[in-house]
């Protein structure tokens, strides 16, 4: 049992299918399927081709899907100068906006801008970025997302060293008496999700593990079932 769980009750698990791996020819249909299967939120990766090598889509895709489902939209800005599209993203229907600590020297200002709009705010960190970079803004955050693969491409394998980073983050939150969502993004499978949660994460972003499976509803339900059962075991062990 990880030290984080022994000392601090983390939020319940949330499954966040990432549409980057979805079939864009029938995107509306696929997000409805994962919502029906019990997904807790939809994850959007907005990429600009500069901060990361790939270009994905912009806020208009968020807006187009907003009327299709009712679950929260988690929008991950993988862009340089996130302030440039912040208002568009919120206006499109984002419920939670994440931006990279590496992308701007003005993190505090961006967090304030997001929260003034009544939207939840979070920070994302690349695999090699130390947790010390967010030490002084932890109390302003609703979520911290850790990239567990090199950002910009789907279908990669989970970087094993990230297990200790997840644990270190949950420990840091515990010390500061903060019960934040810890999200991980990249390389999630049915085989490693329990270990990911054991390390201290509770928001599971999954792309190919859901949308590239033969039955995306079944894949969503399986992942959610494993996460929920693991959470119950963790909580029970604390009693």
Residues in the chain: 239
Q: What is the spatial distance between Cα 75 and Cα 98, in angstroms, rounded to a whole number?
A: 6
Contact 51, 99 (CB under 8 A): no
Write the CA distances from 42 to 66, 70, 77, 199, integer angstroms: 10, 10, 14, 23
Cα separation, 45 vs 76, whole angstroms: 5
Given 40, 45, 48, 181, the catalytic residue: 45
Q: Look up 185 and say whether it is catalytic.
A: yes
Residue 194 sits at φ, ψ, to 5 deg, of -65, -40
Stated as kind and residue range, the H or E segment containing 64 is helix 59-66
Q: How many angstroms separate the CA atoms of 130 and 14, rounded?
A: 25
Question: Which one from 40, 48, 181, 185 is the annotated catalytic residue?
Answer: 185
DSSP string, 187-229: ---TTTHHHHHHHT--EEEESHHHHTSS-HHHHHHHHHHHHHH
**Does 45 qualify as catalytic in the annotation?**
yes
Q: How far is it, in rounded angstroms, from Cα 111 to Cα 137?
A: 9
User: In angstroms, rounded to a whole number, what is the distance separating the alpha carbons of residues 190 and 192?
Assistant: 6
Catalytic residues: 45, 185
């Amino acid at each position: 049992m990880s030290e984080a769980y022994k000392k601090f009750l983390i939020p319940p698990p949330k499954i966040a299918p990432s549409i980057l791996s979805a079939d864009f020819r029938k995107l509306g249909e696929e997000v409805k399927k994962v919502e029906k299967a019990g997904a807790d939120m939809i994850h959007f990766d907005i990429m600009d081709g500069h901060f990361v090598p790939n270009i994905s889509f912009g806020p208009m895709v968020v807006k187009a899907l907003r009327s299709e489902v009712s679950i929260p939209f988690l929008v991950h800005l993988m862009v340089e100068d996130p302030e440039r599209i912040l208002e568009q993203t919120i206006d499109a229907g984002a419920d939670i906006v994440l931006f990279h600590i590496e992308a701007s020297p003005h993190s505090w200002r961006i967090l304030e801008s997001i929260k003034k709009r009544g939207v939840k705010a979070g920070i994302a960190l690349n695999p090699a970025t130390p947790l010390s970079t967010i030490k002084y803004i932890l109390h302003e955050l609703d979520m911290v997302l850790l990239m567990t693969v090199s950002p910009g491409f789907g279908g990669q394998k989970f970087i094993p060293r990230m297990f200790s980073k997840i644990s270190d983050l949950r420990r840091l939150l515990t010390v500061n008496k903060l019960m934040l969502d810890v999200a991980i993004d990249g390389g999630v499978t049915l085989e490693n999700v329990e270990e990911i949660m054991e390390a201290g994460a509770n928001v599971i972003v999954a792309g190919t593990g859901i949308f590239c499976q033969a039955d995306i509803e079944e894949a969503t339900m399986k992942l959610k079932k494993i996460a929920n059962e693991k959470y119950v075991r963790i909580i029970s062990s604390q009693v």
